[in-house]
Amino acid sequence: MDNIMVKTLPGATEIGVPTRLRTGGDRGPLGRRCTALLVSAAAVLLGGCASFSPDGGFESVQQVTQQRLGKDVQWARTSDQRTTLDTRVGELLAKPLSVDDAVQIALLNNRGLQASFSELGIAESDLVAAGRLPNPGFSFARLRRGDEVELERSFGFDLAHLITMPLARQIETRRFAQARQLAAQEVLSLASEVRKAYFMAVAADQSVHYMGQVRSAAEAAADLAGRLARAGNWTKLQQAREQGFYADAALNLARAEQAQVASRERLTRLMGLWGDQTAFQLPERLPDLPKNADELPDVEQTAIAQRLDIQAAKQGTEQLARNLGLSRATRFINVLELGAVHNSSNEAPTQRGFEISLELPLFDWGTARTAKAEALYMKAVNRTAQMAVDARSEVRQAYKGYRSQFEVARHYRDEIVPLKQRISEENQLRYNGMLIGVFELLADARSQIDSVNGYILALRDFWIARSDLDMALTGKPSLNTPDAAAMSTGSDAGGGH
């Protein structure tokens, strides 16, 4: 018996209604036509069977990465490919890292990103499976009744899979496209996080440097105050005040060093480095502030058109719509079985023919399955709409934050730091003329260093805001305000008298 079975509802209870038509020695015209039809259909479908692509769909991810980041991304699926990437990472680590070098290393070396690329292989496997015919089944039975021996052979085939194959392939094609977009989004998200971690790490190094200078100035003042107090020229209150300034400066330096370690380790994790690779070098200072901030009047429309998460959500909604159409098309077909029969006995002529079995929809008419598909579709529609609302809000917030941080950093650069410099120069002249003492001069030095450190943190926040804006235009950003306490400007340690 050749059986071709269609099951569109997994777990459905079969109510078989077999009808066996048996003929004599010849199968007859109908049997020959059925066999010829099955063979022809199988040949056509087998000729159009899906196969795996050479790159696993990764070319589109590489194109997006090149277009939006100007960087190279590779999927290391063999040990040789991994060795090649390790060599390239070593070459980039041999020099002080720029922000672009750090991003490139992460795209080649981050194992979490490599793991996310495996989703492409899973999605492509489902697509290939949806385009291939199911394996046929064969069974053999030997029955004995007295002296009579009956041999029964059956050849089965899943006819439902054959009927629904075009729709199933369309669904898996959209799912594969969605997987490619999600993989590209993972690349862009990692690049954004690496940029932010890079600026945090460089700023932390600079902050440690300047906080060390503040502590040195405070230490010198405290030491001098102690000598004056022991000589009877200073009161205990004056000595305690200078000692307090030194204690605060030492505490702020310890906090800055802690932030330095944390920021560097985060950058190390994102780049996937370990062992000797963690001794990478960073530049001594952050990139300069640009002359002008970018003007983006249509920032919301740009985000809606470009964001990969919204495009992936739209494709997911279309996929569910296709699933709904498939559910409606197959709601009445739960089990359809078609088979060719070939029975032989040692006491009777050979039986040949075909058998059809169809499940009757007496209890389950597929309404529950269709209702579930409709509910899932409406859930996806509303989530996609909410995602668009969130995207508009996120890109507005990112753009305003970018412009605000630019103004703060520019104010530090053009107003506060130059003003502190002029004050310091005037106080130096006054000290040379013995109009002020050494403690006033040291307090002024601490204040000037604090202003420079404040500019470093403002510049850091600007570049982080720039990274958030770039990410908000292409995918979902992580709009986290930098922790100013982690890199204190040390204002408490820089007070004057």
Mean pLDDT: which of 254-258, 292-296, 338-342, 386-390 is highest? 254-258
Query: In the Cβ-directed half-sphere of 451, how many Cα atoms lie within 13 Å?
Result: 20
Top pLDDT among 29 and 305 is at 305
Q: Which of 40-44, 107-111, 243-247 has the lowest mean pLDDT?
A: 40-44
For residues 125 and 21, the model is more confident at 125
Greater model confidence, 130 or 411: 411
- The full DSSP string for 166-210 is HHHHHHHHHHHHHHHHHHHHHHHHHHHHHHHHHHHHHHHHHHHHH
The packing angle between helices 299-306 and 367-411, to 10°, is: 140
Mean pLDDT, range 306-319, rounded to an integer: 81
pLDDT digits (tens, 9 = 90+) for 147-205: 787 888 777 777 767 777 887 787 788 888 888 888 998 999 999 999 999 999 999 99
Q: How many alpha carbons fall within 13 Å on the CB side of residue 8?
A: 29
Phi, then psi, of 19 in degrees rounded to 5: -130, 115
Query: What is the pLDDT averaged over residues 8-17?
Result: 33
The more confident residue out of 434 and 122 is: 122
Q: Is 308 helix (H, G, I), strand (E, B) or coil?
A: helix
Residue 305 has pLDDT above 60, yes or no: yes
Query: Does residue 291 have a pLDDT over 50?
Result: yes
Q: Is the pLDDT of residue 70 over 80?
A: yes
Percent with pLDDT over 90 in the chain: 31
pTM of the entire predicted model: 0.74
- Tell me the Ramachandran region of residue 26: left when phi exceeds 0, alpha when psi lies from -120 to 50, beta otherwise: beta
Ranked by mean pLDDT, the top range of 10-14, 76-80, 238-242 is 76-80
pLDDT of residue 316: 78
pLDDT computed for residue 43 by the predictor: 44
Q: Please report which helix (H) or strand (E) contains residue 348, including its range.
A: none
Looking at residue 337, its pLDDT comes to 46
Please enumerate in sequence order all residues whose Cβ is within 8 A of that of 299, keeping only pairs 6 or more positions apart, or say none.
395, 396, 399, 473
SS3 label, residue 331: coil
pLDDT at 91 over 90: yes
Mean pLDDT, rounded, for 443-447: 75
- Indicate whether 387 pLDDT > 80: yes
Q: Whole-angstrom Cα distance, residue 424 to residue 442?
A: 10
**DSSP symbol at 326:** H
The predicted structure's pLDDT at residue 2: 36
Q: Is the distance from CB of 152 to CB of 140 less than 8 angstroms?
A: yes
DSSP secondary structure letters along 216-276: HHHHHHHHHHHHHHHTTSS-HHHHHHHHHHHHHHHHHHHHHHHHHHHHHHHHHHHHT--GG
Lowest-pLDDT range of 127-131, 313-317, 426-430, 479-483: 479-483
Q: Tokens 């529609």 label which residue?
A: 381
Q: Band of the pLDDT at 313, cuts 50, 70, 90?
A: confident
Residue 354: both structure tokens together: 């075909």
pLDDT of residue 496: 42
Residue 30 binned pLDDT confidence (cut-offs 50, 70, 90): very low
Q: Which one has a higher pLDDT value, 444 or 34?
A: 444
| Residues 25 and 350: beta-carbon distance below 8 Å | yes
CB 471 within 8 A of CB 68: no
Q: Is the pLDDT confidence value at 34 over 60? A: no
Q: Is 485's pLDDT higher than 60? A: no
Separation CA 106–CA 115 (nearest Å): 13
Q: Are strands 335-345 and 148-156 parallel, antiparallel or unpaired?
A: antiparallel
Region of 479 on the Ramachandran plot (φ > 0 left; ψ -120 to 50 alpha; else beta) = beta
Question: 321-375, pLDDT tens digit by residue?
Answer: 776 665 555 544 444 444 555 556 556 666 666 555 555 555 545 577 677 777 8
Mean of pLDDT values over 374-400: 87
E strand or H helix that includes residue 8: none
pLDDT confidence of residue 261: 96
CB 153 within 8 A of CB 440: no
Tell me the CA end-to-end span of the chain in Å, nearest whole number. 102
In this predicted structure, what is the pLDDT of residue 458? 94
Dist. CA 137–CA 155, nearest whole Å = 6
Strand ranges, E, within 304-448: 335-345, 351-358
Least confident of 209-213, 351-355, 391-395: 351-355
Comparing 60-64, 208-212, 316-320, 366-370, which segment has the lowest mean pLDDT?
366-370
